[in-house]
Structure 1
Amino acid sequence: MSISSSHTGNALALSSPWAVVPSLGHLDAYISAVNRMPMLSLEEEQEAARKLKESNDLESARKLVLSHLRLVVSVSRQYLGYGLPHGDLIQEGNIGLMKAVKRFDPDQGVRLVSYALHWIKAEIHEYILKNWRMVKVATTKAQRKLFFNLRSMKQGFKANAQEGTHRDSLSSAEVDKVARQLNVKREEVLEMETRMAGGDVLLDPAPGEDGEQAFGPIAYLTDASHEPTAMIEARQRDLMASDGLTAALESLDPRSRRIVEERWLKVNDDGSGAMTLHDLAAEYGVSAERIRQIEVAAMKKMKKALVEFA
């Protein structure tokens, strides 16, 4: 069943009472169409259900679904207060109706309307919980019960309150009453009321009219020091600077190792090496150029050793 607001719809023409409802651009036209679908008598419903159950007769399934589309529309109206599109609620309810028709047993002694009611509500409930907020507001059975009853109970308390009294939160006595009626803990009532009172906040707001990025929570929630990639890279750097460097130095001969250590690992206060090329050249009785060549060769060997270590 498709209810699309992106297409313009013409006047609905049904070739027969059981014609499939086409895609419509106007929700009111869809609702008007399903309300004109004929209802099934008990005998007709039983016959269609048995045909579906015994021989998987799709025409019977279609009749059972179409004759109960008005029920979905009626149920969906009860959930308009959650700010979700009515057409979407109807479509989710239609999915629940089709699940009910598939599982309906005519020998159970109940009408399809009673059996389908549970499936329609369950599907709409699931849709609301997934889409009402970006973050799930209810996960446990108790939380789901609170979510779908707390709003209407609060409205009842407001209606019974004295004229001129304006408050959004529940009083202590009202919290206790809700907890008793729904058989949940008092703390769970308070927590759900807080969750439902809150709203979604964009972590990264869209740019303002002047083109500048608006300030949002992302600016102060980001913790670069604990970003997974940065943490892995930092760990690898620490490992290379300790075990990796030790392994690379051990791959050198004693003279090359001392030259590298004096030139790069021992640093003076001014940032220069502990010994210059000329100092090392005088100690080993060779030219400064030779010391530089040994240093370059040692660095290449260490680089290869570090790559193998990594």
Structure 2
Amino acid sequence: MLTEQQLKKYGEAIRKLTKIAIRDKVLDAYDILESFLEVDYEVDHEAAKAYVKSLQDAKIEVKNANIFDTDIDPVFIEEASPSKEMTEEEIIDFYEKSASYYVGDSLRLYLRDAGRFKLLTLEEEIAVAKEAERGSRDAKETLIKSNLRLVINIAKRYQGRGLELMDLIQEGNLGLLKAAERFDIYKGYRFTTYATWWIKQAITRALADKSRIVRLPVHLVETINKLKRQIILFEQDFGRSPTVKELSESLGIEEKRILELYYYIHAFDSSPSLDIYVGEEDDSTLLEFIPYEGIDVLDEVIFSSLKDSIEQVLDELTEREENIIRLRFGIDDGRYRTLEEVGKVFGVTRERIRQIEAKALRKLKHPTRARKLKNYLFNG
């Protein structure tokens, strides 16, 4: 029997999911499952199937809808075995026939278990990360478990590329483990920001290694994806496909090599759309290859992303406010200016600059703008 609070939460979850479904004309059943698990660890499969049917009746596509087709537990074979005296051959045959049930249910149980670990607040994350830095295994385990849902959310974006969702999650978890091992709290960015890059890197490398019939070297896969990304950027900017010469000039690669890469894309690449953008809040492409040893490169990627976010926020100020903030905080050249120095540039008093700066900072502190930067900073 559901409590009044659970009923309310289910209603909120369904309203949120329905809004997304109406907007996109498609919804993933795993999103439904995650939302329901946040309300109750024991998902009501009949209710879930009824909701899926209501979406389908409204001509909305529901991906992976069959995940609600069975309630069977992954250990059901032991419990529901027709005979405790089966031969080894009969047991293997029974497992194979039952695979379509227990594989899907194992995934549901994993999603349920991952949802049981609470997300850390910013303050908790800092405290736990410091403990992990000092060698606490429990703290490191907490850091990992609290981000299992992050892995799931990222892994879901890579479905249909050659690996099953559970395999993608497992690969992403390896990236999460590596992030926990290498995280340096004093670098200045949040663990979730740092871990995201390692998770993506682990998944994309796994796709490069395992999802092709013909395995391409990782360095070649990276070059191919640079080419695909440049093609997408060019088409967005100019509304047409680039010529081989234009790609050669923009990438600094010989035209002959560009043609070779085209051949590899069409002959061996089973995931030609892996570089598409993934949504309004995630303006990165799906393929982000970060070398295992390249921590300096990782810093550059994160800070490049931070710079883009700063530019987006500053665009919401007036031209004068933006220029004053840029000068005062040395955003473009790293040199801070005093109120007096900025006042001379604009031909006004230092007090007037202080007033404009204060107004601009109030705008930037508004939650709709501040959240764009908060994930990068511990004191955000």
TM range (shorter): 0.3 to 0.5
Which TM-score applies when normalising by structure 1? 0.46
Which TM-score applies when normalising by structure 2? 0.38
Q: Over alpha carbons, which structure has the higher Rg?
A: 1
